[in-house]
Amino acid sequence: MKLLSKQFSIIVSLFLLVCEINAQNYEPAIAVPVSGISIDGNLTDWPKGLKSYEIGNLGFGELEDDKDCEATFMVAYNSAEKSIYLGVEVIDSKIVSNNSDNNIDLLDYMLLYLDPIHNPNGGSSLLFQAGGNLKEKFPAKPKSWNPYSPELTWEDVKVQTGQQNGKLIYEWKINLGNFFSIDSSYGLDFVISDIDEIEDGEIWKIWKNGMAKSAGAHRIGDLILAKDANSIGKIKGKVNIKDEKIKGVNEIRLQSIDLHNIWCRTIVDSLGNFSCELPEGAYEVLPWSNFTSHINSADFNQHSRKIINQERCVTKIKANSETLASNLNLICEPHPLGLFEEKGLLISSTFNDYKIDNFIKTYQAYFDIPGISLALIKEGEIVYDKTFGTANSLTNEPLTKEHLFEGASTTKSVFALMVLKMAEEGKIDLDKPLYQYLSFPNIEHDERYKLITARHVLNHQTGLDNWPIGSYTGFISNDKANLGFDPGSNFKYSGEAMNYLGRVVEKIKGKKLSQIFEEEIAPAFGMQNSHFSYSDKLEEKISLGHYHKHPRYKDKHTDVDSPASSLMTNASDFIYFAKGLLNGEYISPESYQLIQNIYQEVPKDDRLYSPEWRTGIAYGFFVVDTPDGKLFGHGGNNLDFDCKFGIMPKQKVAYAVFTNSNLGDEFIRLLELYLFHGKQPFDQEFQK
């Protein structure tokens, strides 16, 4: 019996950003001691007067009115049992608690997220699902990802659904055992699913705003166990933005000074005000996000700056009282631009390891990037190959040259060489419509798809969006996608088109892309620690991806090799690919001309550096005509891994850098300026 809901399976498998919708009705929950509660789906034995918290954020679907799927919860604990109790009530005009198929996809249900560790740096949550008489515990994250997470089973968790006064009830008891502690905080959250109008899809209500909660425990809400109801006070305060570069702060963190196991977040409204209830004691008020905006690599004018407090903000909360905190005044910490020299360090005579080390460590600290792998080529030889930081911020495991990173879109350049080699051998015609090799059912409703060729794919001219079907497994789905223009007439970056061409290559060769890579590409370039697909044996070698310092979990896919994103490698190994390109190995001189000369220019607004520097795509590579010479390569961003490689053939220099952070994109942009261009005034924004 498969209990996992279809919609939830999609959310877990996809690598999603946090939903940026307006936060509502979120404050940390306070649990107080109780006794005598029975888990029977009836809340009449709960003490009167317990505070009820609204599960009021819309996570999925469309509400009919304010009462649609209205949900609240109460929380308490029993110290003798070392247990937490939860009572969830959902107003539902049509309660669906059973079906003939015994399928939870056709039931009202809820998901319960619980993080007994509650590390401010993030972690993993336990996940349970209940609906009708069905229930499921989802597999815990691998111990290689978070070895500290406890193992709870259904022997530790009891849940009972019921109906009471027109409400659907979910009543829970969780025995935390040795992880139970009064005057501590935990991670807690809910997804409430209402399937009244199943033909129109589910409605999801969530407690703390933001989806993709399984990706990391920092995305779920906060629960605090207080001594008793008489030990709780309230804090109110205001956030003042003292620097116009700060775009806004919508959450702040409150950290207990007396009780280090207590911390929580609360929302900041549009006027900068915040308030919440907390156990009595001294608390420090801190900004929750360290950066001015969430990073998206499609926005090339990011210029993130670190937010710091102008002065420390500490407030003492008194029980049964309201305390006004001093203002939290936020300013930006300037970029350490003094490190830049007149010329790019890699093309100057002043190159040395110490300067590179200092640059890496300085900006790694500024952007809070856990791990960096960097290798450099000068005068055609590898002159630098080092790692910095940690592979996993939860375990502080030191990063080594054996650890792997997700190569993201640098995969496209590796795949492009596969295709160009096949073209040289006469195994594929770059101008033959791909449908004549293999149809693409997802887009065949648009007759223009019959015009798409391998040349169009490699130069991002197919008209397909980047991921219109949703993920790199989309090719095997039934979802439809449309072309935005006639193939060959314009530029639109598309991973989906690469995946189409990847399936064509596999059909022609009769092999998976990973096998082609292992047999042809890796040995040709001397790459001994790179892989084109995930396998369980690699789990211990893969570094952990991070989003704004927080570890981010995602499922690994083994069913499809993605020519757009599936490479796993590091700078120590990938630098041999860059060296081979610099030396003109593997493909013919004619093919090398293809990847070094712009085929399709990109619009000025999409150019990474100066809009006046001619920039374009060339058969799986991006090319920039800079004042210092031609620079070609490719970057990659999987939202929690950022990487890039670049080659300047005239200067005989190259680099490969991999980071396990979404903020690596910002760091790499500065690194490339530092290595190749120095203090040239093409980007005045950094001087502000």
Instruction: Estimate to the nearest angstrom the gap between the alpha carbon of 551 and the chain centroid.
Output: 9
Q: Last residue of some domain: 161, 193, 225?
A: 225
Pick the most confident of 326-330, 523-527, 667-671: 523-527
What tens digit of pLDDT does each residue of 377-409 get? 999 999 999 999 999 998 899 999 999 999 999
Cβ–Cβ under 8 Å, residues 181 and 225:
yes
What tens digit of pLDDT does each residue of 553-568 get? 887 766 678 999 999 9
Q: Range of 299's domain?
A: 229-333
> What pLDDT, on a 0 to 100 scale, did the predictor assign at position 289?
65
Q: What is the dihedral of CA 351, 356, 359, 363, to 10 degrees?
A: 140
* Residue-by-residue DSSP string for 146-178: -TT-----TTTEEEEEEEETTEEEEEEEEE-GG
| Residue 168 clears pLDDT 80, i.e. is over it | yes
**Residue 378, in any domain of the structure:** yes
Question: Is residue 240 located within the same domain as residue 164?
Answer: no
Q: Structural domain tally of the chain?
A: 3
| Residue 64 clears pLDDT 70, i.e. is over it | no
Give the count of alpha carbons within 13 A of 683, CB side only.
20
- DSSP letter at 290? S
Which one is predicted more confidently, 381 or 682? 381
β-strand pairing of 203-206 with 57-60: antiparallel
Question: Is residue 215 located within the same domain as residue 111?
Answer: yes
| Residue 302 clears pLDDT 70, i.e. is over it | no
Rounded Cα distance between 403 and 660, Å, is 11
Mean pLDDT of 666-678: 90
> What pLDDT, on a 0 to 100 scale, did the predictor assign at position 682?
44
Cβ–Cβ under 8 Å, residues 278 and 291:
no
Question: Is residue 272 located within the same domain as residue 364?
Answer: no
Cβ–Cβ under 8 Å, residues 626 and 613:
yes
Grade residue 296 by pLDDT with cuts at 50, 70 and 90. Answer: very low
Question: Is residue 234 located within the same domain as residue 199?
Answer: no
Question: Is residue 359 located within the same domain as residue 341?
Answer: yes
Q: Has this prediction a pTM greater than 0.85?
A: yes
Question: Is residue 94 located within the same domain as residue 209?
Answer: yes
Question: Is residue 54 located within the same domain as residue 103?
Answer: yes
Strand partners of residue 160:
171
Q: What mean pLDDT value characterizes the chain?
A: 87
Alpha helices in 185-340 (DSSP H): none
Question: Which residues 6+ apart lie within 8 Å of 393 measured at CB?
Answer: 121, 122, 370, 544, 546, 549, 551
In 243-380 the beta strands, taken as DSSP E runs, fall at 251-256, 263-267, 273-279, 281-287, 306-309, 314-317, 322-324, 328-333, 371-378
- DSSP letter at 433? B
**Residue 509, in any domain of the structure:** no
Question: Which residues 6+ apart lie within 8 Å of 582 measured at CB?
Answer: 377, 380, 647, 649, 652, 654
Question: Is residue 148 located within the same domain as residue 255?
Answer: no
For residue 83, give the CATH number of its domain.
Answer: 2.60.40.1190
